[in-house]
Amino acid sequence: MRELGAIEQRINDDGIAALKAGDKRRRQACSSFVAALKKERIDSRKEPTEADELTVLKRERKRRAEAIELYDQAGREDLADQERYEEELLKSYMPEELTDAELEELVDEAVAATDAVTPKDMGKVMGWLKPKVAGRADGKKLSDLVRGRLGG
């Protein structure tokens, strides 16, 4: 049997604790998160890194945000509330987002470390940044910052 990632193990443990406490809502949410992480682990056929797990949680959080919007439009407050609950619970398993100042500092550091000067060097800079910001910054925001630094 494959080793669970640290985040997956934590969510699994929280789900078990919720089951013992009779918190059906939290147990179902944790089970859903663990299922998404397990699917990714099986599909990738490798031991998950924390960055891999954060990518899955970020994707799940985005799905919840989209569902909230759709349920609100359809007038299904009960379902929207459940999605909001799950979105907030997902946030608790993710690291805190980097501030704009921290992102700008990291981008400057990446540009210097990779000797990037033109927009053609964006791939090198993003490759350097990705592991450092995994799950803590929006990819579009990050690429916009890099593009701005490189004059693109």
What's the distance, CA 118 to chain centroid?
29
Q: Is residue 142 part of a domain?
A: yes
Do 70 and 51 lie in a common domain?
yes
CA distance 37 to 58: 11
Per-residue pLDDT of 37-70, as tens digits, reads 999 888 988 888 887 888 889 899 999 999 999 9
Residues 85 and 139 reside in one and the same domain: no
Instruction: Give the pLDDT confidence score for residue 1 in this predicted structure.
Output: 40
Please give the tally of structural domains in the chain.
2
Domain CATH for 143: 1.10.10.410
Tokens standing for residue 151: 């004059």
Distances (CA, A) of 35 to 31, 57, 126, 147, 152: 6, 11, 30, 36, 40
| 133 and 66, same domain (yes or no) | no
Model confidence band, residue 3 (pLDDT cutoffs 50, 70, 90): low
Least trusted range by pLDDT, from 8-17, 43-52, 62-71, 84-93 = 43-52
CA-to-CA separations, 150 to 44, 81, 143, in angstroms, rounded: 34, 42, 10
CA distance 2 to 47: 7
Examine the fold and report which residue of 51, 74, 92 is the final residue of a domain before the chain moves on. Answer: 92
- Of 92, 112, 134, the position where a domain reaches its end is 92
> Is residue 43 domain-resident?
yes
Only one residue has tokens 């550091």, namely: 109
In the chain, count of helices (H) and strands (E)?
7, 0
Residue, of 115 and 13, whose pLDDT is higher: 13
Of 131 and 78, the structure prediction assigns the larger pLDDT to 78
Residues 106 and 82 in one domain: no
**By residue range, what is the domain housing residue 83?**
6-92
Least confident stretch, 12-16, 66-70, 73-77, 95-99: 95-99
Tens-place pLDDT, residues 105-149: 988 898 888 888 888 888 888 888 888 887 778 778 888 888 888
Closest to 5 (Cα-Cα) out of 48, 59, 55: 48
Distance between CA atoms of residues 92 and 11, nearest Å:
10
